[in-house]
Amino acid sequence: YAPGEVPPTPANATRLLVARKPGVMDPVAQTLTRSLAQLELIPASDNPLVQTFQVWQLGGDLSKETLSEIGNALFANEVIENLSVGEEDLAYGLPVPRPAVGRVEVPLLGLDDEGLMELSTGGQLYLNLEEMHCVQDHYKGIGREPSACELETLAQTWSEHCQHKTFRGNIDFEGERIENLLKSTIAAATKEIDHPFCVSVFHDNAGIIEFDADLEMDVAFKVETHNHPSAIDPYGGAGTGIGGVIRDILGVGMGARPIANTDAFFVGPQDLPADQVPKGSLPPRRILNGVIAGVRDYGNRMGIPTVSGGVWYDEGYVANPLVYAGTVGLIPRKFAHKTVAAGDVILVVGGRTGRDGIHGATFSSVELDEESEMTSAAAVQIGDPITEKKVAEGLLTARDLGLFRGLTDCGAGGLSSAIGEMAEHTGAVVHLERVPLKYPGLTPDEIWISEAQERMVLAVPPDKLDECIAVFAAEDVEATPLGEFTDTGRLVLQYEGEVVADLDLEFLHNGTPKPLRKA
């Protein structure tokens, strides 16, 4: 059927139509569009000319309100999909383009405590009052207001999701002051044991330990949670959760090959009555079915088996399930470490950037409530494992050919976290207008912080750039130079010649206040 055209509805039945919301990735449509273009049946296009729909037909004398409840409970996820009942119109396709916007300054210097917290919550920065004061004092010291890009960068870098502020902060336990719980427990034990098989721990995308001394082959492990996104879109949240740890394995050292996945799910009782499911939460059975399918489908499409897993049921997980996803990879010992040098080209490879994934890092750092499903819809993405598989093959080929010096993945915070982390000890200049987009109309800050999936950032010596781009092109993967790493200690973002952010990297990475919490 053509876009918008649907099958006829039998007599005495009502049609329910489900489609992805404008701007939400549709991998099936994207793959079919690309295949039709390769067969020269349609013109080549950056934007999908195909849309997938689900059509359900229900008989019986049911009101429109009842049909809507059934549709949203069983067939559609309101976060990423639209539902139409009967003949009502349905929004689908690409989002309406918005005029391009350059630098936007945010009035911050004159705000009182209430104003600071309104800005933090309303702008989905989710920084606490002490952190907002720290940002305000910094900009008072340099004598100007922050830009939207700068605030967004600080918010994602300082988020609990990225900084682990609770574990790294100071804690007062029965009069004893504990500085950095992470370092004084897990990291301290690892350091004290100091086992020689530890190759790389606590500073890269994953941990690496020795595996085969004769082959000089090591093994990399990464497990992390993807709780909040999975609570509002179980399939998409778990899928992008496993996709993220696969990228972490690809991004550790100079790149490891993922070979196996694992998972663990903590959810509510599967027989929980509907009237006991909190408003704004999904039924536990729907969550479990969704997260199982999400991890399974993403791994299978990349050829990576899920070799182990576990499930725990408890009423405490009804409103906030825990979803753990993990990946194991193999890496030659000579590729266990990486670096970045001033003058290296910043090369982004993989999927394009869209509005999906905005505020993924900050959203994952706050408590869920009954409004989270709607207010944080953009924090959930739809994974595209086929693209990630092609990225993986191109990446490992480029690694073996020595075509890049360092890399990391675009996780929570997108380019902001990837380039910001890689440039921590150097500096960077980034041209945001060069970033490949899924559709026009994104603002500079949206381009910068979107967690759109399946992207990696590489530090490529200039004399290796053309060959590196060619390797990815052979795998049908876009590779785009965005700027270069510098030796200035500053992160400078430009958009069509205008500076939209200029941040001191020392403040960005080490300026977070460390409050004393009581345990």
Nearest alpha-carbon partner for 474 in 420, 395, 386, 356 = 395
Can you name the residues that pair with 258 across neighbouring β-strands? 329
Alpha helices in 111-185 (DSSP H): 113-122, 129-142, 148-157, 160-163, 165-168, 181-182
Nearest alpha-carbon partner for 438 in 351, 515, 500 = 351
Q: What angle do CA 153, 158, 163 make, to 5 degrees?
A: 130
Decide if 453 contacts 243 (C-beta within 8 A). Answer: yes
230 contacts: CB under 8 Å, gap ≥ 6: 237, 238, 241, 287, 290, 291, 294, 321, 323
Concerning whether 226 is annotated as a catalytic residue, the answer is yes
CA–CA gap between residue 114 and residue 134 (Å, rounded): 15
Decide if 23 contacts 452 (C-beta within 8 A). Answer: no
CA–CA gap between residue 60 and residue 202 (Å, rounded): 59
175 contacts: CB under 8 Å, gap ≥ 6: none
Buried b (16+ CB within 10 A) or exposed e, 441-480: bbbbbbbbbbbbbbbbbbbbeeebbeebbebbeebebbbe
Query: How many CB atoms are located within 10 Å of the residue 308 CB?
Result: 12
Q: Cα dihedral sign for 371, 376, 380, 381?
A: positive
Which one is catalytic: 164, 203, 226, 509? 226
CA–CA gap between residue 239 and residue 154 (Å, rounded): 27
Concerning whether 161 is annotated as a catalytic residue, the answer is yes
Can you name the residues that pair with 495 across neighbouring β-strands? 498
Which one is catalytic: 133, 138, 161, 431? 161
Structure tokens at 487: 């030796």
Q: What angle do CA 346, 352, 356 make, to 5 degrees?
A: 115
Decide if 14 contacts 71 (C-beta within 8 A). Answer: no
Structure tokens at 404: 């890049």
Q: What's the one-letter identity of residue 328?
A: V
Q: Which DSSP category does 147 fall into?
A: B
CA–CA gap between residue 468 and residue 471 (Å, rounded): 5
Active site residues: 161, 226
